[in-house]
Amino acid sequence: MNFNLTLIGQMISFGFFIWFTMTYVWTPIVKALNDRKAKIAEGLSAAERGHQEKALGEKRALELMKDAKGQANEILSQAQRRAAEIVEEAKVDARAEGQRLVAAAQAEIERETNRAREELRQKVATLAVAAAGKILNKEVDLNAHRDLVDSFAKQI
């Protein structure tokens, strides 16, 4: 066997193998590797975006919690102010009702006092007429002397 011819045949076979591999095998492998590299890069950038969005979400959640706490405190203070107003209104209403009851009681006392005075005047007038009748030893007619008895009762 000829060593040169074998070497040349092997070189041609190897060249053909390299051409075939580069054309039909290497291109899809390189394409698959590039696609995989792009997917990995995309996944890494998506992960980075996810971390950034997570940080933004946490920051937004903290802001929302602060706002919610502020609103809760504001609502609580409004409720306390309203409760104080209701208590104050109740006090004012109670005072007004108490004053109204006192005024009604005073009016009732005044009416009772006037009625008692009138009754007393009539009794005093009757007693005075009776006393005058005994003093004069004659009967004094109450109807005949009504004006005199009324003026005497008013003086008392």
84-124 tens-digit pLDDT = 999 999 999 999 999 999 999 999 999 999 999 888 888 88
- The answer to pTM > 0.75 is no
Q: Is the pLDDT of residue 28 over 80?
A: yes
Indicate the SS3 state at residue 34.
helix
Dist. CA 152–CA 120, nearest whole Å? 12
Give me the pLDDT at residue 121, please.
81
> Which pLDDT score is estimated for 40?
96
pLDDT category of residue 137 using cuts at 50, 70 and 90 = low
What pLDDT is attached to residue 138? Answer: 54
Mean pLDDT for 147-156 is: 67
Say if residues 128 and 149 touch (Cβ distance below 8 Å): yes
39/52 Cα distance (integer angstroms)? 20
CA quadruple 97, 103, 106, 107: dihedral sign:
negative
Taking alpha carbons only, the member of 106, 109, 101 closest to residue 93 is 101
Amino acid, single-letter form, for residue 129:
V
C-alpha to C-alpha distance for 81 and 65, rounded to whole angstroms: 24
Give me the percent of the chain exceeding a pLDDT of 70: 84
Distance separating alpha carbons of residues 149 and 143, to the nearest angstrom: 9
Tell me what pLDDT residue 128 has. Answer: 75
DSSP 22: I
For residue 13, the tally of other CB atoms under 10 A from its CB is 10
